[in-house]
Amino acid sequence: MGFKNFLLAPVAVLLAAFTVAPPAAASVPRLLINQDFPDPDVVKTAGGYFAFSTSTGSGRVPFATAAAPEGPWRVVGDALGAVPKWAKPDGGFWAPDVTQLADGTFVLYFSAAQTAGGEMCLGVATAAKADGPYTPAGDRPLVCVPEDHGDIDPQTFVDADGTRYLLYKSDGAATGAPAAIWAQRLQADGRSLTGPRTELLRADLTAEKAVVEAPSVVKTASRYLLFYSADTFQSSGYHTCYASAPTLAGPFVKADAQFLSAELLGGKVDAPGGADVVDGHIYFHGWLGGGRTARGLYELPVTFPGDVPQLG
């Protein structure tokens, strides 16, 4: 997304976990947006920083701007200029992701409910500027796999040779396979896919409660770190983990310790999830005011000593 340094290997996931030290005590998370701004996506551009969120009272895809990563941040408008023909206009637009192509075009990915059947699918829209307005591309979703029982949480990244990929979550079914995270190569136009998709990891740990979602991949000096959220987002047990791969050939292995949780953050953030790493900062949402009506945008510095993420 934007100028982020994302890399990924299309590999299978080992079920074993590697041992890492638990995260060091973090500094107090900074609340950047004290209003509903869930599933944040942060993008660095030549003109400053932009953040995008799931639908709220502020719009279909609300966006905020800041001159610096720490802010001050201000919610200023709605990025999505029109409802796609295939999507329910009142079904919400979830977990947006914005990236910039080589020709300068900005591409917005989002989840929305189909008018026929109501399953969640992934759509795409484009704009000449980071703040839009974004115009939906095509009359059909970009990703809509029936056996997934819903596809959500799109996230893009670019590998070392400039190849673009799209990560996303399949919801899974209560009586079938649990949720999983997938990756598929994008064509250079950012609006079409090519080749088969690859499963990166699946919800196979008890603490995940059959949920893995909100993927984001970061390349460190010698490893590839896949951040993801787990458990149900309404629960205070919702948390952020990561898996690691030593090379582009993988495989990804889940860390044996959570990275962001209410407990690890000293109770300062309720259900931290939807993480996005940009320029040494990890952005995430958390419930505000002890309720379940609004999730604000939080930030902490993050470093990668020894290719292991560390807060503070």
Give the separation between CA 216 and CA 123, rounded to whole angstroms. 18
- CATH number of the domain at 13-311, please? 2.115.10.20
Query: Which two three-digit tokens encode residue 87?
Result: 């999507």
Q: What is the pLDDT of residues 67-120, one digit of tens each?
A: 999 999 999 999 999 999 999 999 999 999 999 999 999 999 999 999 988 999
Residue 104, Cα to own-chain centre: how many angstroms? 22
Q: pLDDT for 20-32, tens place per residue?
A: 344 444 579 999 9
Q: How confident is the model at residue 4, as a pLDDT? A: 45
Return d(Cα 308, Cα 286) in angstroms, integer.
Answer: 23
> For residue 162, is it left (φ>0), alpha (ψ between -120 and 50) or beta?
left
Write the CA distances from 197 to 4, 40, 166, integer angstroms.
22, 25, 9
pLDDT above 90 covers a percentage of the chain that reads 82
DSSP symbols for 252-304: EEEESS-SB-TTTTTTSSEEEEEEEEETTEEEEEEESTTSSS-EEEEEEEEE-
Helices (H), 101-248: none
Lowest-pLDDT range, 72-81, 101-110, 175-184, 229-238?
A: 175-184
Q: Model-level pTM greater than 0.85? A: yes
Residue 26 has a pLDDT of 55
Task: Give the residue from 252, 253, 272, 254 showing the smallest Cα distance to 262.
Answer: 272
DSSP class of residue 60 equals S
